Amino acid sequence: MARLTVIRGGRLIDPDQGLDLIADLWLEGSRVVGLEPPPGAVPDKIIDATGLLVTPGLIDIHVHLREPGNEEDETIATGADAALAGGWTTIVSMPNTRPPIDTPAAVEFVILQAKRAGKAQVLPSACVSKNRAGEELAELGKLYEAGAVAFTDDGAPVSHAGLMRRALEYSKMFDVPIYQHCQVMELTVGGLMNEGDVSLRLGLPGMPPVAEEIMVARDIMLAELTGGHVHIQHLSTARSVELVREGKKRGIRVTAEACPHHISLTDENLATFDSNFKMNPPLRTARDVEAVIQGLIDGTIDLIATDHAPHAPEKKNRELDQAPFGILGLETMMPIVRSSLIEPGLLTWPEVIAKLTIEPAKLIRRQQYKGHLRPGADADVTLIDPDRAWTIDTAGFRSKSINTPYQGWNVKGRAVGTIVSGELRYMLDPHRETVMV
Amino acid sequence: MVLKSIFEIRHGREMTIDNSTIPVWKHRHLLGLEQLSAEEITLLLDEADKYAAHSAAGRLKHNVLNGTLVAQLFFENSTRTRSSFGLAARRLSADTLDFTPSSSSLSKGESFIDTAQNLVAMGARILVVRHSVPGTPQLLTKYTDASVINAGDGAHEHPTQGLLDIMTIRQRKGTIKGLTVALVGDILHSRVARSNIWALKKLGARVVLCGPPTLVSDRWSELGCEVYHHLDEILPEVDVVNVLRIQFERQRSALFPSVSEYFQLYGMTRRRMELGRPEMLILAPGPINRGVELTPEVADGPHSAILDQVTNGLAVRMAVLGLIQGKSAPLPD
């Protein structure tokens, strides 16, 4: 008989099943048994979850792992390890590596490296276009069969409307979403931050919100034309939220994600000229932050993803134009989401957990076994101490990089246990800053 | 105490400086004028006036920064600002060290932070920094313990240029409060504009920005400036015109159709001078493009204070170098 684990006495939250109760959760091997033990069972392992939230394993559908090609920033192993510390059991890697993930061999490389690491599970996404060049469709069928769960040229948009149309059309037969990084490049030449009052004041070249919105609008219309599924990545402006809302109302297959930084920071932070506030899409205005949060509240925005984008300090701690776009996200999501959404009473824990579990599972079509704790589901579980106070400190990060804008923040809420395939792969001491597993 | 400034010698006007209430200067760096109060800006201007008066009286050299090492890091070309800072430092008896990227290890791949740290390790206490990217001087303050003076960071700020412009206006007009000052031209790319705007507003001027909408965003009206796109319309109300240079090197894409069209719409010509008030003052931060922003007869004419600006620049930089080391201008003999 496979190894039996019981997670005792936690607040079990499974939005997919509508569960929110104090209960035990039984796992057997790599599967969920349920709230009751198998008849006559004696647990091999008991995890005390008193005072903790017990949720389906968190799924981040937007993570940059940088391997192959930029192992100085992150590797599949270090990124998947950072994921564990953030409470994520499954992450979707982005294909903008060197070389890009545009061949079945490259997809398999990511899967094998992740297996070898034995941390969080990594599901690869693959390129929409060959060599991410935005010209010819990549071999989506072969990539799908190799294990790609989504297609994207993330880091750059699919600019060519004709190619985007073909991608949405062709991918329908695999029922796989096309993730789009929405940015009209002609409108953002040289841009380093949001274009607005703040960029005007700081003399920094701006990226106007319409550069995002025009492509959001275009791709929603292309999804309508083709019946394909477009997923809008890191949606950041008020008008983008309206466009997605309208698209959904029309029944178009459009989904969207929001990143923790786009609901917790604004372009005013750039007044420090700190490159840890430089990401793409850029931090927008307080009005946009409010609209994105409203989108999360009313369901226009389906889920939360981090866009974890590690960059080694020698690259990131530079002049603002030289520093690359992007910040870390995996290890800081929980407290940021807590302070932006839960603390002000905008969303409840079960509502937030849905956007971190079942919603992302559905997006990548893994909802049969992931994103919930029904009997037979993958035994991926996250334990969260909802009120644990801590100070964000890069010294303790498992990521290879330290490019976070939240350094030194005193926060509350933290993932304290991460179970992947029935194995407890991360456990934080309840009282100390010490990792027990 | 009454000091005679170079301006008084040139223009024969008396100027009184009240030296009795000098507030304490508390900044270690000069990164921009946006963060300074009206009192702090006035203090800098008063200090500069004192140095100007000393110069006019033939007292050129002062023992203010005796042996302090001032390093100039210019990551962008400059003639006037660089020479002016270098001379200002030497006039205060500082040592100077000049650094140019082309002759340096930056061309060997060293980061500019490492370069700055090396200069500080050699003993530099003041770094005068020019860089094409906004915020770069601020970034240096995090990595060294030297004082940092912003000598121009991209389109962000050029505080000593703003100060010398305002010093020149104050000399000619006696005060800043209540004046209407027009900044004409390429506001989008202009650090000179940004330093002028904040300081002029703090000192009580009405600030008018004029240029094509591609160079002068209407958003400026939300930040307390008046925005005009037709120069002839506003000239009759203006006391000072600061003619900004068209920054061809920063133009990413054609923001106006041609130089000739720009000159027709915004060039300061004799005709436009006649539209203005008789006492209208013309400033230009330079280097000027004759025939693009203004005609030679305007640049060299009686309304032009362009060379006063250069003279005042030296005094302003002496004031700044001294104050950030906690040193005031010496009293006259």
Region of residue B160 (left: phi > 0; alpha: psi -120 to 50; beta: else): alpha
Q: What is the pLDDT of residue A199?
A: 97
A190–B contact, CB cutoff 8 A: yes
* Interface contact B111-A272, CB threshold 8 A: no
Instruction: Assess contact for B54 and B81: CB atoms under 8 A.
Output: no
Count the Cβ atoms, other than its own, within 10 Å of residue B42.
Answer: 18
CATH architecture observed for domain B159-310: 3-Layer(aba) Sandwich (3.40)
Measured between CA atoms, how close is A274 to chain B, in angstroms? 7
Cα A128 to Cα A174: distance, rounded to the nearest angstrom: 13
Please name the member of B113, B191, B222 whose beta carbon is closest to the beta carbon of A203.
B191
Please name the member of A202, A317, A322 whose beta carbon is closest to the beta carbon of B134.
A202
Instruction: Show me where the domains of chain B are located.
Output: 61-154, 159-310
Fold of B61-154: Rossmann fold (3.40.50)
A·B CB contacts under 8 A: 57
For range B4-22, the mean pLDDT: 46
For range A41-48, the mean pLDDT: 95
Please name the member of B113, B134, B253 whose beta carbon is closest to the beta carbon of A320.
B134
In chain B, what residues touch A189 (CB-CB under 8 Å)? 252-253
Residue A44 has pLDDT above 60, yes or no: yes
Q: What is the pLDDT of residue A431?
A: 86
Q: What is the pLDDT of residue B257?
A: 87
* Interface contact A273-B252, CB threshold 8 A: no
ipTM of the complex: 0.87
Hey, which residues 249-278 in chain B have their CB within 8 Å of chain A?
252-253
**Banded model confidence at residue B22, pLDDT cuts 50, 70, 90:** low
For range B210-223, the mean pLDDT: 95
For range A190-205, the mean pLDDT: 97
Q: What is the pLDDT of residue B16?
A: 44
Measured between CA atoms, how close is A193 to chain B, in angstroms? 12
In terms of C-beta distances under 8 Å and separation of at least 24 residues, what long-range contacts does B60-63 make, across chains too?
A: B60/B91, B61/B91, B61/B93, B62/B91, B62/B92, B62/B93, B62/B318, B62/B329, B62/B330, B63/B93, B63/B330
For range A216-228, the mean pLDDT: 98
A287–B contact, CB cutoff 8 A: no
Which tens digits make up the pLDDT trace of B219-275?
A: 999 999 999 999 999 999 999 999 998 877 666 567 888 888 999 999 999 999 999
Residue A192 structure tokens = 């380093």
Which tens digits make up the pLDDT trace of B127-185?
A: 999 999 999 999 999 999 999 999 999 999 999 999 999 999 999 999 999 999 999 99
* Interface contact A190-B111, CB threshold 8 A: no
* Interface contact A189-B252, CB threshold 8 A: yes
Residue B97 has pLDDT above 70, yes or no: yes
A369–B contact, CB cutoff 8 A: no
Do the domains spanning B61-154 and B159-310 agree at the CATH topology level?
yes
Which residues have C-beta within 8 Å of that of residue A384, sequence separation ≥ 6? A52, A53, A55, A87, A334, A413, A414, A415, A416
**Banded model confidence at residue A57, pLDDT cuts 50, 70, 90:** very high
For range B194-211, the mean pLDDT: 98
* Interface contact A200-B131, CB threshold 8 A: no
Residue B272 structure tokens = 């436009």
Domains of chain A: residue spans and CATH: 4-54+377-399+410-427 (2.30.40.10), 56-363 (3.20.20.140)
Q: Which of B299, B272, B269, B271 has the alpha carbon at shortest distance from B287? A: B299
Q: What is the pLDDT of residue B250?
A: 62
Query: In which residue are the tokens 């607040």 written?
Result: A11
Question: Chain A residue with minimal CA distance to B222?
Answer: A197
| Residues of A classed as catalytic | 307
For range A247-258, the mean pLDDT: 98
**A143-147, A342-346, B251-255, B308-312, range with the lowest pLDDT:** B251-255
DSSP letter (8 states) at residue B330: P
Cα A277 to Cα B57: distance, rounded to the nearest angstrom: 51
* Interface contact B111-A314, CB threshold 8 A: yes
A150, A151, A153, A157 alpha-carbon torsion, rounded to 10° = -100
Q: What is the pLDDT of residue B291?
A: 85
B186–A contact, CB cutoff 8 A: no
Q: What is the pLDDT of residue B17?
A: 43
Question: Chain B residue with minimal CA distance to A321?
Answer: B133
Residue B15 has pLDDT above 60, yes or no: no
